[in-house]
Amino acid sequence: MTQLDYILQQIVNAVSLGSLYALVAVGLSIVFGVLKLTNFAHGDVMMVGAFGVALLAGAGVPFPVAVICGIAAAAVAGLLIERIAYRPIRDAPDVARLLTSLAVTYIIENVGILVFTSSPRNFPLPDILNTSWEVSNGAITFTSINLLTIALTFVSLLLLGWFITRTTTGLGMRAAAEDMSAAHLVGLNVNRLIIVAFIVASAYAGLAGILWAAQAGVVQPQMGFTPLLKAFVAAIIGGFGSIAGALVGGYILGALEIFIVAFLPSSVSSYRDAIVFAVLIAFLLVRPGGLLQPNREIKL
């Protein structure tokens, strides 16, 4: 195995991981864009999607049907969370809403543990998606699910791009993100837009959760928390609230994590998550608007 193959392998890994982060971060950014809410429960919506698939496929439902049901379950979960927990405090200060979303996370994870216990369950992935592929005599390997992750991220984000630039509802969502009260004044149904934002974001979370579980091979009630925190870092690196920013941030974070582990000595790379969150803090301090919103000022 040559040096070049090693680097190419790491690039494949980085793109695959980055796609997952981008998918999660896009959902976070949609909600943050419209509501200015840091939605910690987004990770639990991922968990709902993945568990939905694991339970249905485990019960013999064909895998593609299970995936569609899982994504639908995630969308419903997001909708319920918005209705029950977030709508009553929509006008509360940012921090109060952030804490509420933390409490929602706490509730969902504990309910998950109560119902499913905290031990990991097998995620039944069809064999087609588990095949591994080899390039240049086995020096670079990846599985079908890696490819599928990258492809689905690409397709779903194109779809999202079309939705927010070409449809009335999508344009309305962007208007609401820009200025909620102005959007209300020009006659947009802001409530409906927020609901749509949650459905779209949660469906993305469901898809991301399913892909995450497929790569990990297991589902577990707390599985959403780590990807959520990472996606959060990705979204802030790119520019929180911006969908393009979430995409850029996701791939940068994926590359950063993979390269820390691949090219740094293990005494340093075991601190990978500390480095990642130090990057988060650095961005908040120096460039709180992220890479794509350099002019956003944060008042003291």
Partner 1 sequence: MSREARITLLVLVALVAGAAVAFGAPHVLSDYFVRIILLIALNAILVLALSLSNGFTGVFSLGHVGFIGAGAYISGILSIPVQQKMALLPHLPTFLHAFSLPFLPATLVAGLLTALLAVVVGYPLMRLSGYFVSVATMGFLIIVNVVLINASDFTRGARTFTGVPLETTLPWVTGWLAITVFVLARLVYSPFGRAMKAVRDDTIAASAVGIGVLRTRLIAFVIGAFFSGVGGSLYAHYLGSFSPNTFYFALTMSLITMLVLGGMGSLTGAVVGVICVSLLSEVLRSVERGFTIGDFAVPALFGASQIVLGFIFILVMIFRPKGIMGDRELTFGLTQRSATVNQTEERKR
Based on CB atoms, which residue is closest to partner 1, 191 or 270?
270
Residue 182 half-sphere exposure, CB side, CA atoms within 13 Å?
9
Nearest CB to partner 1, comparing residues 87 and 121: 87
Contacts 24+ apart (CB under 8 A), 112-119: 112/44, 112/47, 112/51, 112/221, 112/222, 113/221, 113/222, 116/51, 116/221, 118/220, 118/221, 118/222, 119/220
Distance CA 125, CA 122 (A): 9
Residues 9-38 interacting with partner 1 (rule: CB under 8 A) = 38
Q: Which of 4, 111, 135, 158 binds partner 1 (CB under 8 A)?
A: 111
Q: Report 171-200 residues binding partner 1 (CB under 8 A).
A: none
59 vs 285, which CB is nearer to partner 1?
A: 285
Cβ proximity to partner 1, 34 vs 125, nearer residue: 34
Q: Which is nearer to partner 1, 186 or 298 (CB)?
A: 298
* Residues ≥6 apart with Cβ < 8 Å to 3: none
Record the tokens describing residue 62, joined without a space.
């064909």
Is residue 99 a contact residue for partner 1 (CB under 8 A)?
Answer: yes
Subset of residues 59 to 98 that bind partner 1, contact rule: CB under 8 A: 85, 88-89, 92-96, 98
Of residues 225-284, which lie at the interface with partner 1 (CB under 8 A)?
225, 229, 232, 236, 270-271, 273-274, 277-278, 280-281, 284
Nearer to partner 1, 207 or 231 (CB): 231
Amino acid at 170: G
The two tokens of residue 23 are: 């998918």
* Long-range CB contact pairs, 186-193, < 8 A, 24+: 193/34, 193/169
Which H/E stretch holds residue 140? strand 140-143
Contacts with partner 1, residue ranges (CB under 8 A): 38, 85, 88-89, 92-96, 98-100, 102-104, 106-107, 110-111, 113-114, 225, 229, 232, 236, 270-271, 273-274, 277-278, 280-281, 284-285, 288, 298-300
